[in-house]
Amino acid sequence: MKQPVSMASVHAFYADVIRRGRNTAENLQAAASERFNNLLGSIGDATPRTALDLGYGAGAYTIALARAGFHVVAVDQIPSDPLLRRIGDAGTWARRIEPRQCLAEDFIIDQDFGVIVAKDVLHYLTRLNVEALLTSAVAHARGENYHYLEVFTGITRRSADGQLLRIEGEAGYTPESFRRGIERIYKGWDLTLLWSQHAEQDSRTGLNCFEAIRATVIAANRAA
Ligand SMILES: C[S@@+](CC[C@H](N)C(=O)[O-])C[C@H]1O[C@@H](n2cnc3c(N)ncnc32)[C@H](O)[C@@H]1O
């Protein structure tokens, strides 16, 4: 196993590729998924029109939420300029987006967000921070709230020369430890947990550089 990769270098990587509008093996420039769009389309009037997108990246989920009528707080550790450039003066929906440059773990959830999205970001946080963030989100949920999370578990990363890599401070969930954490935090919510295999290839070697089991969580607070 090589020395752990620093979280600072992971953060710098995203700031650079997003600033340059580049795509990556993980398909950063992809549009919001059909699964997410279907969820968005099914949300009714009992859900507050406020949303939080943690780790928004190139902004696909933030934009989908704003277009659907949500006022979106968009949080990422990268500067906000690429998102502001992308939305430009696209009209009313663009004015519903409020970007914030900050770490997800430092963002204080002190309001009732109707929808919270965290896609492909929470695995970079410590378990303690993931669970504190979600617990606080649940504690502030008042209406028929929805949380949509996609989180990598059981991750294996390899360098171009095939050595195992890990990132300092990452959550390191197994599917089982993640499931247990989610079931504890979302007690009393309707919970859908879906699992899929995920792999990314190194474009230089053609070999898998990232393999994981992706957990998709759709949590609905219908008891409100
Ligand atoms: C794989 S991208 C996912 C982007 C977007 N959610 C999507 O699925 O299209 C990960 C994003 O999380 C951000 N990120 C990583 N760690 C973070 C942290 N601790 N706090 C806030 N943003 C973070 C990165 O800057 C990057 O934009």
What digits encode the pLDDT tens for the residues 181-198?
999 999 999 999 999 999
Q: Does the Cβ of 77 fall within 6 Å of ligand 1?
A: yes
pLDDT computed for residue 202 by the predictor = 87
Banded pLDDT at 224 (limits 50, 70, 90) = low
Q: Give me Rg for the CA atoms of the chain.
A: 17
* 171 phi, psi to nearest 5 deg: -65, -40
* Residue 60 near residue 40, CB atoms below 8 Å: no
Q: Does the Cβ of 57 fall within 6 Å of ligand 1?
A: yes
DSSP one-letter code for 221: -
* 54 phi, psi to nearest 5 deg: -90, 125
- Specify the residue with its C-alpha closest to ligand 1, atom 27: 57
pLDDT computed for residue 163 by the predictor = 93
CATH top class, domain 7-220: alpha beta
Banded pLDDT at 203 (limits 50, 70, 90) = confident
Instruction: Count Cα atoms within 13 angstroms, Cβ side, for 43.
Output: 28
The percent of residues above 70 in pLDDT, for the chain, comes to 99
The percent of residues above 90 in pLDDT, for the chain, comes to 88
Q: How far is the CA of 56 from the centre of ligand 1 (A)?
A: 6
The pLDDT of residue 219 is above 90 = yes
Q: Which of 5, 14, 86 to mutate to test the pocket of ligand 1 (most atoms within 8 A of CB)?
A: 14
Longest Cα separation, the chain: 53
- Specify the residue with its C-alpha closest to ligand 1, atom 2: 57
Spans of all domains in the chain: 7-220
Q: Does the Cβ of 145 fall within 6 Å of ligand 1?
A: no
| pLDDT, tens digit, 9 for 90 and up, residues 16-74 | 999 999 988 889 999 999 999 999 999 999 999 999 999 999 999 999 999 999 999 99
Q: Which of 107, 121, 214 to mutate to test the pocket of ligand 1 (most atoms within 8 A of CB)?
A: 121
Nearest to 166 by CA among 215, 133, 119, 212: 212
Q: How far is the CA of 82 from the centre of ligand 1 (A)?
A: 14
- Specify the residue with its C-alpha closest to ligand 1, atom 8: 119
Residue 30, classified by CB atoms within 10 Å of its CB into exposed (0-12), middle (13-18) or buried (19+), is exposed
Q: How far is the CA of 223 from the centre of ligand 1 (A)?
A: 31
- Specify the residue with its C-alpha closest to ligand 1, atom 15: 121
